[in-house]
Structure 1
Amino acid sequence: GKPIPNQELWQTLWTQVKKHEINWHWVKGHAGNRDNERVDQLARKARLAITPADTLFEDAIQVYVRASCKGNPGPGAWGVVIEDDGETEQHSGTEAQTTNNRMELVGVLEALAILPADRPVQITTSSDYVFQGATGWINGWRRRNWLKKDGQPISNQDLWQALDKQLTSRPIHWINGKGAKSEQPQGLQEASQVAVEALKLLTES
């Protein structure tokens, strides 16, 4: 027969199990069990915290993206801060009726559209939706012809397909900037302010 997957982990577990008296109880995932839900939250938090400390590309253009919405859906804005060779640019845009997730994606795409196609880019986002989508979910969506596992079309399909083209045409490194505001990179905080100011101009005009 073939070796089982993760053999070394199962062997280690078996060694530990023999040292204790353990009663195993199977709990269906996401079925409302308080302790199981808590463990799931902790695991998800740890997974999201896994972020490479250093850039993969020495000459990468740094991009920070944030979005702001008044209602979800509702009026929305995206803000982008671009840092390259000691220079900083700020860009923003708005839509009268949109969602926060959509604005996060639009911000990424707008930033990539104005950057040189031959330069690697490092994108920092605090959006779980963008980070997880761009680094993992998008592969499954592409295989399923942009459908979710239940067969329904994914949200913001047009934007994800546009981003997919960017991912295959240039080096892009993603950074998960989620965390307490005081712990976020300065560029991400500035991008947030740019988005907030753009939204304010939209809603007060």
Structure 2
Amino acid sequence: MIDIYTDGAARGNPGPGGYGIILKHNGHTKELSQGYRRTTNNRMELLAVIIGLEALKQGGQKVTIYSDSRYVINAVEKGWLKNWIKIDFKHKKNPDLWKRFWVVYQKHLVHFCWIKGHAGHYENERCDQLAVASSHTNLLVDTYYEKQL
């Protein structure tokens, strides 16, 4: 079983943002983070999950993703994403990331666990710290998003 803790942040919405990830497996822990110069909180929440899943080297893994993002979790667990796929994401936000998510999501056995943000959960707090810190330095361009503006 692999545990992936994720969080995303944006200073302004849109504004500079970033994601933070903690991967835990067999007693090993790895942290990942990256910032973007202009993005949204929802994009960073979703990108954190994508990057966490993409970091897994083998397919077919049992994965629990811990997130405080109702946007991400509800889209999957309530079936919204499958409907968005059927309509080719017409009038939906973040189709580039949802398509990328769907590809990597299908490679694993994924379970989501919602956790309340800013409620003292150690890994969630650490992911938030990583996300906020990454929104200040070495910012990449969220090309798809910036082209939409």
TM over 0.5: same fold?
yes
TM-score, reference length from structure 2: 0.84
1:202 is displaced (CA, Å) by: 5.0
Contact 2:118 2:124 in 1 (8 A): no
Contact 2:20 2:34 in 1 (8 A): yes
- Greater length-normalized contact order (CA 8 Å, ≥ 6 residues apart): 2
Q: Within 5 A, what are the aligned runs for 1:7-156?
A: 60-116=1-57, 117-136=59-78, 137-147=80-90, 153-156=91-94
In the alignment, the residues of structure 1 paired with residue 118 and residue 33 of structure 2 have an alpha-carbon distance, to the nearest angstrom, of 23
Q: Which structure dedicates a bigger proportion of its chain to helix?
A: 1
Corresponding letter in the other structure for 2:84: W
Corresponding letter in the other structure for 2:105: L
In the alignment, the residues of structure 2 paired with residue 189 and residue 100 of structure 1 have an alpha-carbon distance, to the nearest angstrom, of 16
The alignment partner of 2:99 has SS state of: helix
Q: CA RMSD in A?
A: 1.6
| Residues 29-87 of structure 1: per-residue CA shift (max 9 Å, x gap) | xxxxxxxxxxxxxxxxxxxxxxxxxxxxxxx2100101121110010010001111111
Residue aligning to 1:195? 131
- Equivalent pairs, count: 137
Identity across the alignment (%): 29
| Residues 98-157 of structure 1: per-residue CA shift (max 9 Å, x gap) | 00100111111111111122322110110111111122211211222223xxxxx21000
Structure 1 unpaired stretches of 5+: 1-59, 148-152
Larger Rg: 1
In the alignment, the residues of structure 2 paired with residue 196 and residue 202 of structure 1 have an alpha-carbon distance, to the nearest angstrom, of 12
In the alignment, the residues of structure 2 paired with residue 179 and residue 79 of structure 1 have an alpha-carbon distance, to the nearest angstrom, of 13
1:195 is displaced (CA, Å) by: 1.0
In the alignment, the residues of structure 2 paired with residue 201 and residue 131 of structure 1 have an alpha-carbon distance, to the nearest angstrom, of 28
Structure 2 unpaired stretches of 5+: 140-149
Contact 2:35 2:137 in 1 (8 A): no
Q: Which structure dedicates a bigger proportion of its chain to strand?
A: 2
